[in-house]
Structure 1
Amino acid sequence: MVPMLRVPPNAAKRAVNLLRTVQFGHPPSCPCHSNPGHHHTPTMIASRNRKYGTPLDPASHKEYAFEMAASSIRYGPGATMEVGMDFANMGARKVAVVTDSTIDRLFAMKQVRESLDREGIQFEVFNEVKIEPKDSSIKKAIAWTKGHEFDAFLAVGGGSTIDTAKLMNLYSAYPEADFLDFVNAPIGKGLPIDKPLRPLIAVPTTAGTGSETTGTAIFDLEEKKAKTGVAHRNLKPTLGICDPLNTRSMPAAVKAASGLDVLCHSLESWTAIPYNERTPRPKNPMLRPSYQGANPISDIFSLNALKTTVKYLPRAVKDPEDNKAQSEMLLAATLAGVGFGNAGVHLCHGMSYPISGQNPGYHHSGYEVSTPIIPHGVSVAVTAPAVFKFTASSNPDRHLEAAEAFGVDISNVKKESAGEVLSEALKEFLAKLGDQPAGLKELGFNRSHIDALVEGTLPQKRVLMLAPGLGDNGITERENEREQLSRLFEESLEH
């Protein structure tokens, strides 16, 4: 029996009087709530539009909204064994499993095969993904899908594998499309993906790209000698399965390079221009870009990922048995993916694309490939000290907070010194991490390469538009961008 609550005498009367006092003495501030007869009149709407701009008139108005989109994420050691049940729950009959020749022999793929077989899921394996994929390897993978009738995709590997699987999924849904139709403008047409794709589950085996959460796929366009890609929310995986057991086989060099990608993802999205400073406002919400600028939700993910990376990346690289550090780095990569997948990245990534694409012949130690390679995380981090020194004047407080994440005491640092302080913190972090090039010269570049590197960066409008301070106050914006980028590349020749 539930005991009856005894109400003191006159309590109900006092409560009613209190409510009346609140209601009539302090009415709600919104006129629609305080006055049921009040509505937003055309005059009010016109006044609002004069102040904030009309939602459907983007010509001269800044953005006023942001969207958050990310894959569903499952995190936990052993979670890979659930993937067969996931596809059974989806009603999938035949799955395209995408991986590379190395991962195909490792623990993650063993778990995948066992799980799919246990649930009776029919599958075919494509294991020819290339590290830092080129358009030729992407097209080969797309062609492979045309010989099968797949109703779902599974990517098992690093960012190269997940990005390849995204594009296999995309172009199998648009079999008549030209390859450049969806590629980011101005290199491609940048058409929106206007229909849902087949389910894609991503199982990352590196702790870096965060590709399991984003609608972005990056590759080298060989003809242009530059990286580009496709970016749209509909490209993101249906589910990312983040299993720390799958990252334990990473060599130290891969852990370091992948972790540096996390570092720059978080730093760039944290310092990107605010979403409501981006122009133009889209005519249709379908045209709102994935990379929107820093916003209150992405900030939470980005700053958390930055702090986690600073704390755990050196441990993960140093000790392959430090399972706590490995697990935290996988989680940081995913958190950073949610952050930059919505806020975007800027100069480090924009400048990294020609660095990778115009590699003079550098081969990073620890990578088991026969051709020259500058790992993506290395190409991104090598310009970071110069980049954040340059962007700091746009928002000194954010750059100081980032420096604090590296352990810098900022209590007496002046705002005008924010860039220098963060730059020095980055240099020290890279040096202590070990085996990292201390500038572009160690990658084989010199001053004679700068013009070509600048020209390879300028088409990366999708990310350059989010770079604080780029293109401001010049003879023309384009010429000023060239001068600024030239200086940044020159400052990055050696730390």
Structure 2
Amino acid sequence: MHAVASASGGCPCHSRHSRPGSQTRATAIPRDTDYAFEMAASSIRYGVGVTSEIGADLKNWKAAKVAVFTDPNVAQLAPFHTVIHSLKRANVPHIVYDRVSVEPTDSSIRDAIDFVRLHQPDSFVAVGGGSTIDTAKAANLYLTHPKNEFLDFVTLQSVKGFQCVKIPTTAGTGSETTGVAIFDYVPKNFKTGIANRALKPTLGIIDPLNTRTMPPQVHVSSGLDVLCHALESYTAIPYNERSPRPKDPIERPAYQGSNPISDIWSLKALRMCVENLPKAYKNPTDFVAQEQMILAATFAGIGFGNAGVHLCHGMSYPISGLNKNYLHPGYANVAGVGKKLVPHGISVAVTAPAVFEWTAPACPDRHLEVAAIFGADISKATRADAGKILSDQIRKFLHTLDVPNGISAFGFEKSHVDALVVGTLPQHRVTKLAPHEATQQVLQSLFEKSFTIY
């Protein structure tokens, strides 16, 4: 039996974050790995009904023209109307962009960019899920850098943007805290992203009232994104094993690897998610569980926004991008007429049993600790058991949430594995944070093991 303690109480795996015997910085780092990590997150305001304060915020900031971003569905709902009424009461000039696409693509991002370049706002407000928040981030970025090509920012380090407020209406992405924006790059059939601390919102408004309009399946998908944010950031490569070491602090990436501060946020988010997501899904009037989930999303956002995610997210991008025929139950109105969709949280979660069985040998104590949070009895477990125990716990959890039985449920066949691997390999922003090297052969095996999960 191996003792397992919490992140704040001396988990044996915390030796991953230090080098035994090191005395000084000059002698502590014999390899070209990093020796430091940075914590960055948006200012956060939480409270029931706090959305109504947005007009006062923008007035205090002396905003001259605010671009309010939302999607066609949220535009009909109370959270959006609360924002508009608040801006009107404060006499803040504003324009509305309500064409955000669920799971944004390069073309939908370009449409948003054209809109803001035409209207030239000086502030942004995003009301919606991660798709809306990420679209607003990208539009803000390209408005302030009009001479850059579209894909420049996937790798560009130094960027700037206007002040912005993000108001999530789903409990999942944590995008209101992070410097990350994700979109489908349709010409290559994969998702990619922009990750830079300068993309962090000025303020994230976390109002539990805003998630009460979510359908049950959206609760599940967004909540599973929280789950995997927490799991992946807690098991990512340690910050002081990530390379190369930046030559200039500005080159230190937003995703830096697991670290003692992110660990605390990630574990707290994981506990909240395991306890509350099934309740939020099964009982639409369990507002306490819903409040806990929107907080969990924010907590996980702070954790993974600095530590990063790894293979579940990296592998999810081609699953979503290559999907041609599957529309997830409960998403017909969300996706739009005729659109096929594997929701992001679902595409992330279906590979989790295989991924965490594979990652366990890198840090078995952490995997056992996480398995115990799911409810596993680890009193007689050995480190060699960690991957199987955690994998089984994740399967049970997904089954209670009616998650489809692996990627075969989306119409993928064994002949598609090569394309799925090819779509994952370029995702270095996340795959390089896996605690083992994710080779082509490894990815092929993980996809094959994810065809069915029950």
Q: Same fold (TM over 0.5)?
A: yes
Cα deviations by residue, 1:310-367 (Å, 9 ceiling, x for unpaired) = 0000000011100000100000000000000000000000000000000031110101
User: What are the ranges of 5 or more consecutive residues in structure 1 without an aligned counterpart?
Assistant: 1-46, 55-59, 184-189, 472-480
Residue of structure 2 equivalent to 1:216: 180
Residue of structure 2 equivalent to 1:458: 425
CA shift for structure 1 position 149 = 2.5
Residue of structure 2 equivalent to 1:345: 309
2 CA distance for matches of 1:300 and 1:326?
21
- For residue 343 of structure 1, what is the amino acid of its counterpart? A
Instruction: Find the residue that maps to 2:118 and give its secondary structure.
Output: coil
CA shift for structure 1 position 53 = 4.6
Q: 2:158, 2:250 within 8 Å by CA — same for their partners in 1?
A: no
Residue of structure 1 equivalent to 2:451: 493
Q: 1:138, 1:164 within 8 Å by CA — same for their partners in 2?
A: yes
Residue of structure 2 equivalent to 1:254: 218
Q: 1:53 to 1:401 in 2, by over 3 A?
A: closer
Residue of structure 2 equivalent to 1:239: 203
Query: Which structure carries more relative contact order (alpha carbon 8 Å, separation 6+)?
Result: 2
Residue of structure 1 equivalent to 2:28: 52
Residue of structure 1 equivalent to 2:87: 116
Residue of structure 2 equivalent to 1:277: 241
2 CA distance for matches of 1:431 and 1:148?
47
Instruction: Find the residue that maps to 1:77 and give its secondary structure.
Output: coil
Q: 1:182, 1:193 within 8 Å by CA — same for their partners in 2?
A: no
Residue of structure 1 equivalent to 2:157: 192
- After TM superposition, list the pairs within 5 Å mapping 1:228-377 onto structure 2: 228-367=192-331, 368=333, 369-370=336-337, 371-377=339-345
- For residue 284 of structure 2, what is the amino acid of its counterpart? P
Residue of structure 1 equivalent to 2:73: 102
- For residue 466 of structure 1, what is the amino acid of its counterpart? L
- For residue 378 of structure 1, what is the amino acid of its counterpart? I
Residue of structure 2 equivalent to 1:384: 352
Residue of structure 1 equivalent to 2:106: 135
Instruction: Find the residue that maps to 2:412 and give its secondary structure.
Output: coil
1 CA distance for matches of 2:146 and 2:239?
35
CA shift for structure 1 position 49 = 6.2
- For residue 68 of structure 2, what is the amino acid of its counterpart? V
Q: 1:210, 1:337 within 8 Å by CA — same for their partners in 2?
A: yes
Residue of structure 2 equivalent to 1:37: none
Q: 368, 371, 374: which is aligned to 1:403?
A: 371
Residue of structure 1 equivalent to 2:397: 429
Q: 1:71 to 1:50 in 2, by over 3 A?
A: closer
2 CA distance for matches of 1:433 and 1:413?
27
Q: 1:360, 1:445 within 8 Å by CA — same for their partners in 2?
A: no
Residue of structure 2 equivalent to 1:227: 191
TM-score w.r.t. the length of structure 1 is 0.85
Instruction: Find the residue that maps to 1:193 and give its secondary structure.
Output: coil
Count how many residue pairs are aligned between Structure 1 and Structure 2.
Answer: 427
Q: 2:179, 2:197 within 8 Å by CA — same for their partners in 1?
A: yes
Instruction: Find the residue that maps to 1:180 and give its secondary structure.
Output: helix
Instruction: Find the residue that maps to 1:349 and give its secondary structure.
Output: helix
Residue of structure 2 equivalent to 1:9: none
Cα deviations by residue, 1:370-415 (Å, 9 ceiling, x for unpaired) = 2110000000000000000000000000000000110111111111
Cα deviations by residue, 1:55-88 (Å, 9 ceiling, x for unpaired) = xxxxx51110000000000011100000000111
User: What are the ranges of 5 or more consecutive residues in structure 2 without an aligned counterpart?
Assistant: 1-22
Q: 2:142, 2:148 within 8 Å by CA — same for their partners in 1?
A: yes
1 CA distance for matches of 2:376 and 2:25?
45
Instruction: Find the residue that maps to 1:341 and give its secondary structure.
Output: helix
1 CA distance for matches of 2:143 and 2:374?
44
Instruction: Find the residue that maps to 1:218 and give its secondary structure.
Output: strand
Residue of structure 1 equivalent to 2:38: 67
Which is higher, the Rg of structure 1 or of structure 2?
A: 1
CA shift for structure 1 position 469 = 1.2
- For residue 191 of structure 1, what is the amino acid of its counterpart? L
**Over aligned residues, Cα RMSD in angstroms?**
1.1
Instruction: Find the residue that maps to 1:467 and give its secondary structure.
Output: coil
